[in-house]
Amino acid sequence: MKILVTGCFGFIGYNFLKVLSEESRNDFEVTGIDSLNNPYSKLNYDTFKKANDFEFFHEDILNIEKINFKSFNFDVVINFAAESHVDTSIYNPNVFIESNVMGVNNLLKFCISNKINEFIQISTDEVYGSAQEQFFQETDKLNPSSPYSASKASADMVCNSYAKTYGMKIKTIRPANNYGPYQQPEKLIPYSISNITKENRVEIYGKGLNIRHWLYVKDTVSGIISVLTKGGPGEIY
């Protein structure tokens, strides 16, 4: 199976890339694209390229049409590329709309023009908003509460429109908060660990009463591979 992985050197994308290269090298032919817009993505790239025979393109998904992929004949695009820091989205929402909404639309147009009929959108459970007493179902109403989650919900709706209008086989994955190796240090768990090791105070959100559900990133990757190989089009996971 030939896969184009966007955002391949971000947190979840890089863990996905590493699992495929270490455990499923013979099952998938992977090409990556990443904007390398932060030092951690660049570090992941520098580490990975030394040990792997890997086709990579340094480009933003907003400009994917600049790359000539005509001869690659991809079977599926898996989109990890996204701006994902909620706090940043509050003071700079434009970047999130551009990357998470317009970027996804550009990817879907790219799929149409290159006859790639399968697309996996890595979304977030935050599109549902907050729950007081029970878990959300996949089909529950979307009720995002930040510019970040609103941009991801918008992208999901764009994906849904391409499935209905163009008949694309789109699968949407909405994982909970992830943690694990290679996570950017501004995120809650690595940021807290960093403060603890430096004997600084650990920040508490609000009154400290909020509850979050967490997924270990390699469990998320395992789920993504299951959706890739066994999941049904039009489904939400």
Active site residues: 125-126, 148
Please say whether the beta carbons of 109 and 134 come within 8 A: no
Sign (positive/negative) of CA torsion 79, 83, 89, 92? negative
Nearest partner of 222 among 12, 29, 55, judged by Cα: 12
Rounded CA separation 26/119 (Å): 21
Tell me the one-letter amino acid at 72.
F
CA distances from 20 to 41, 72, 210, 235 (A): 18, 19, 35, 23
Write the DSSP string, 47-70. HHHTT---EEEE--GGGGGGS--T
